[in-house]
Amino acid sequence: MSFRLRVGILLVLTTLATGVMLAIPPLEQDKEYHQFADDRTFIGVPNAANVLSNIPFVIVGVLGLWFLMTPAAKEPGRSFVDPAERWPYAFFFLFIGLTGFGSAYYHARPDNDRLLWDRLPLAIAFMAFLAIMISERISRRAGTILFWPLVFLGAGSVVYWHQSEVHGAGDLRIYLLVQFYPLLAIPLMLWLFPPKYTRTADLFGALAAYLVAKLLELLDTQVYAQGGLMSGHTLKHLFAAVTPYLIYHMIKHRRAIE
């Protein structure tokens, strides 16, 4: 299959996903979204399980940033062909760490205003990683050109949603596109385009962990009903943090493919 055809398939997916999302009516934030199964207070922390389960995001963010500053990360051909490739990953891990703080802030007192600070860093991290995948799988030039537009799209999708809620006409469509499009596009890129580095399996593991996390989010109450130890949403945070951890593990141990 020619390179042009493979890029064409990805562009068709992009067009279809965007068209479908914009064709449906605006989606308002569910009023019951902020009602989580586990609202227990612990050592003075309200909704403690959902607040404290964000700590792994901060830890993984720090681990990623720390590794990117080590001599090993700067050695050409080891984790990066060009040491300059570290910077988009640094941006990604920075916003993964900020996701932990934003989500903890939201869960301490859930409402739409606080949800803005939960979703904003995560959407930025999503788009940064999509740009990284474009750079590593399709074209470094394309990934570099698209990095900031995609990051601003991620941020803008959250700000637009929040402002639409403030004005009484909530619209989640662009935010949902930003969140779920990478879950379709990245596996397609992994299938269509050859790897530049080893450890592609870590990427599939990261995607699988995030899909499990989304499932647990939907089963928040049902999971909590199984003994009341931990809710689906708390487990969602823990599984979602596995995703950036596997990305950190990947870049730490991968090698360039000759």
pLDDT computed for residue 238 by the predictor: 97
- For each of the chain's 258 residues, which pLDDT tens digit applies? 899 999 999 999 999 999 999 899 999 998 889 999 999 999 999 999 999 999 999 999 999 999 999 998 888 878 999 889 999 999 999 999 999 999 999 999 999 999 999 999 999 999 999 999 999 999 999 999 999 999 999 999 999 999 999 998 889 999 999 999 999 999 999 999 999 999 999 999 999 999 999 999 999 999 999 988 999 999 999 999 999 999 999 999 999 987
d(CA 118, CA 33) in angstroms, rounded, equals 13
Structure tokens at 22: 């914009």
Does some domain include residue 20? no
Does some domain include residue 8? no
Does some domain include residue 239? yes
| Domain span at 246 | 48-253
- Total count of domains within the chain: 1
pLDDT computed for residue 153 by the predictor: 97
Does some domain include residue 16? no
Does some domain include residue 139? yes
Q: Are 52 and 105 in contact (CB under 8 A)?
A: no
pTM: 0.95
Does some domain include residue 19? no
Does some domain include residue 195? yes
Bridge partners of 39, per DSSP, are: none
User: Which residues fall within 8 angstroms of residue 53, CB to CB, at 6 or more apart?
Assistant: 234, 235, 237, 238
Q: Which is it for the CA torsion 204, 200, 133, 94, positive or negative?
A: positive
pLDDT computed for residue 74 by the predictor: 87
Q: Are 113 and 161 in contact (CB under 8 A)?
A: no
CATH number at residue 229: 1.20.1070
Does some domain include residue 172? yes
HSE of 174 in the Cβ direction (CA atoms, 13 Å)?
18
